[in-house]
Amino acid sequence: MNIKPLDILRVTEKSFVIAGPCSAESLEQTLTTAKELSSLGVKVFRAGLWKPRSKPGSFEGVGTKGLEWLQKVKESTGMLIATEIANTIHTREALKAQVDILWIGARTTANPFAVQEIADELETQIKSKKIKRNQITILVKNPVNPDLDLWIGAMERIANAGIEQIGAIHRGFSTYEKGLFRNLPHWHIPIELKRRVPQLTIICDPSHIGGRKELIHPISQQALNMGFSGLMIESHIEPERALSDKEQQITPKMLKSIMELLVVRESIDNSESLTELRREIDELDQMLLNLLSKRMAISREIGRYKKEYSIPVFQPSRYNHMVIRRISQASELMVDPDFVKLILQAIHQESVRQQLEIFNSTKNKNQ
């Protein structure tokens, strides 16, 4: 995948902020918000024009006419402008209006057909020389479901169209469970994305992860601590009157306070003490691998015993009792219970897989 670090980092700060309202609602609201954000040093203004809603009848954005408002923002402030696209028409209209940055939303990313239509339109624009390969920046939000390959696949489709400036936005993953977050962060997924595509620029959308104003600062700081290159934050001059997502939008004044509190850690500490701690981590990781190897050897032995005495592989009562007991122990040892539960599930799945492999190999020999 031919992806380069985003050029927008060269015209903004190393850790940059894209900010603006969830939706452009009027020319006055759009311009006023943009001017206040520009005064804070924000270089990229975002605003949704086409809003994907779960049900018809709710505010679905102002549509194409909002492009004129974004153009006025660009003319009056010098900011780069960004908006979401979800189909060929959105793409064509936004490019015609010279929008600098287009992002593909989570629902669209989850639909390979829709992403391919956008990619085809981008390729057509490039071949007809209406745009250049590095002229437009495309940001791809993670899909609503925690599927890393689907996320990467969407970016590959855009890259295959000839676009060179591609970045990713981590906005969390949908869940039916009510909890602290609107969308679960699942931080290990963007971390794995960065491992697979090291040159990829990844920014975080704390507004959609948290879903509440008070969570924007801690989520933003955590993202920067983990090495994210920037943030996309929803900001509205009057959040309480916003036509969409009012709970997660903050005023430019609140954004200013958050930006002043954020700490960007750029230097890499290779001190002797840190080197020693990393060495201890490496040793412990090796011990964990050795223990897992021994555990799986015992699981295979149990599998052979179950086969010999016709015992089903999966024993629900035994598994549930084990999980409850281990999670209780985790709390006492100051380890996050959800983290331990996730590990136990993975270990159990692998144990079952290896036992089933023994069952199947025995059947094949009999056949």
Distance CA 284, CA 288 (A): 6
For the chain, domains (ranges, CATH) are 8-261 (3.20.20.70), 272-366 (1.20.59.10)
Express each pLDDT in 61-80 by its tens digit. Answer: 999 999 999 999 999 999 99
Band (250; pLDDT cuts 50, 70, 90) = very high
- Give me the helix-helix angle, 272-308 and 337-366, nearest 10°: 40
47-51 mean pLDDT: 95
Express each pLDDT in 119-134 by its tens digit. Answer: 999 999 999 999 999 8
Between these two residues, 90 and 15, which has the higher pLDDT value?
90
- Give me the helix-helix angle, 252-261 and 216-225, nearest 10°: 40
Between these two residues, 278 and 25, which has the higher pLDDT value?
25
Cβ density class 97-127: b for 16+ within 10 Å, e for less: bebbbbbbbbebbbeeebbbbbbebbbebbe
120, 147 Cβ separation under 8 angstroms: no
Band (267; pLDDT cuts 50, 70, 90) = low
pLDDT higher than 60, residue 11 = no
Q: What is the pLDDT of residue 52?
A: 83
Distance CA 43, CA 78 (A): 8
β-partners of residue 141 are: 169
Band (10; pLDDT cuts 50, 70, 90) = low
β-partners of residue 48 are: 23
pTM over 0.85: no
E strands of the chain, at which residues?
16-20, 44-46, 80-85, 101-104, 137-141, 165-170, 201-204, 230-234
